[in-house]
Amino acid sequence: MSIGDNIRRLRIKHELSQKELAQIAGVTDKAVSTWELGIKVPRMGAIERLSEHFGIKKSDIIEDQPITLPASTPAGLATQPLHGKRIPVYGSIVAGIPIEAIEDIEDWEEIPQDWPGEFFALRVRGRSMEPKYVEGDTVILRRADDVESGRTAAVLIGRESATLKRVIKSREGVTLVAYNPDVYEPHFFSNDDVLSLPLQIIGDVIELRRKV
């Protein structure tokens, strides 16, 4: 395993986000991302801070020695492939900015290499999709400009950030539905609204990942 793989395994073992690991190492979360992607390697000072914090040898990070995940590691983390495709986790997606140009990357997830299509992930905000999706969850989405009626999707409405909602289609238009109507009542958009706002679907939810 490379240094990046060892660092990622260490982070997963302790159920930390890249931001949390970065605080321990005294670097930015973007620096941790470049380590895990193999773009850069950490400086010795950061390695020393990690080894001291976790009570491990510096060689456990530097050398070709994978850090074993414990049996108690949550299943959702343990089963994530360590050599799949990496996709960014966005905190928000704003209308008018191409996804690939967004710099608000909070973390990275991995998906199987053989999944067809283009993917990204979103961090769930708010309580409108409870109890199925709760704040802090990560949803994996396949990029798409349309979904079947009844699917949960990431939707851009006018100039707002992307919202996660169920998309219900009819001849007259589209209704966005939340699982928690006390927070977000169903919103209907006519066909004219869809075009004039516009209302744009950008991703189809494929998988939910939750840290416990």
Per the structure block, which two tokens stand in for 113?
A: 């290499």
Asked if 11 contacts 37 with a C-beta cutoff of 8 angstroms, the reply is no
Per the structure block, which two tokens stand in for 109?
A: 């997830």
Asked if 93 contacts 81 with a C-beta cutoff of 8 angstroms, the reply is no
Q: Which residues are catalytic?
A: 128, 165
Closest CA to 62 of 140, 131, 5: 5
Burial letters 97-124, b for 16+ CB under 10 A, else e:
eebeeeeebbbbbbbeeeeeeebbbbbb
- CA distances 41 to 38, 57, 62, 125, Å, are 7, 17, 9, 32
CB atoms within 10 A of CB 67: 20
Any idea what DSSP says for residue 101? G
Q: Which residues pair with 85 in a beta bridge?
A: 111
